[in-house]
Structure formats: C-alpha cells, structure tokens
Amino acid sequence: RTIQVYVNGELAASGRTSSGRALHMRGTLSFGQMAHGSWSNHIFGGQLFQLNIYSGVLSSGSIKKIADWGLCGFDWEEFSSSRVLRWEDILTKSRTGSVTEVTGCDFAKELETMRVQLKTVTSQLSSTQDELDTVTGQLNRTEDKLESVTSQLNRTEE
C-alpha cells in the first residue's frame, strides 16, 4: 500500500507500507506518545483542526477542494459516508494532557461577511468610476465648447 500525506491540498509525501497493515477503529488514538514501551513521554507540540480519517482514499481533487474551502467553510456532508473518524466526534471525547480547545470558526463567518461587503464596495467603486469617467468626458466636451466660443468671441471683438 502507498500512504500519501497532503498539506493544504498539495501532496507533501508518500511512501509504501508493509502489506497487510490495516487501521482498525478501536483502542486509543494518541499523538506524540508511544502506546507501549518505555518511550511514553513523546509530546505532540502542534495543533490539530478538522482532523478526519476516511474509509478510503480521497482523490487529489477532493483533497484540494477541502483545502481550498479553508478551515471552517467546508460542507462535510459531501464526505459523510467515508469519514470514519470525524472531527466533531473527536471533540466530544475525553482528552488528557495539556489540551486547549480553541473554537475558531466564528472568524470564518466574519471573513465571509467581509468578503461580501468588499464585493459590494468594489462594485460600487466600479460604478462610481464609470460615472466619474462619464462626467469627466462631459466636462472635457463642455471645456472644448467653451474654448471654441471664447475663441469666436475674441475674433468678433477684434
């Protein structure tokens, strides 16, 4: 079997595993700690967010789609039948060690609101620029007419 690891939707590494190895959905999930032996103090010093384990291999297109949606904006229902370990289930389980739970999807909603506002303001700015271009054209034509009339007036006075 080949294991593939993706980071932000891009293939970061791949490698072969021994044949016959399988992931069984029982027992304890540990990060940074060996479950057996004297090396039990390995510390995971990172952050996990939206960790999911799937029953099969996702296509690179699916992985890219998930990454492109960002941390909080993805609709997981599309993958619900293949997610065997879901992030929202992990959050309900007991945890030991120095675990700090951070909820951060409110910023995604705020970011989306800001994107909509930015799109609206950009559209208004574009419309205002079009109006300014029209008025500038009218002003230039009026200035040309004024110069023409002024020139005719000057010739008449001579």
- How does the average pLDDT of the chain come out, rounded? 78
* pLDDT band, residue 100 (cuts 50/70/90): low
What would the pLDDT profile of 45-94 be if each residue is shown by its tens digit?
A: 677 777 788 888 888 888 888 888 776 666 777 788 888 888 778 778 87
**Residues paired with residue 83 on neighbouring β-strands, in sequence order:** 54
Higher per-residue confidence, 153 vs 31: 153
Of 96, 78, 89, the closest CA to residue 25 belongs to 89
DSSP state of 77: G
Q: 37 pLDDT exceeds 60? A: no
Tell me the DSSP string of 123-153: HHHHHHHHHHHHHHHHHHHHHHHHHHHHHHH
Instruction: Tell me which of 10-14, 95-99, 141-145 is least confident.
Output: 95-99
- pLDDT tens string 106-127: 666 667 778 888 899 999 999 9
**What DSSP string runs through 82-114?**
TEEE-HHHHTTS---SS------THHHHHHHHH
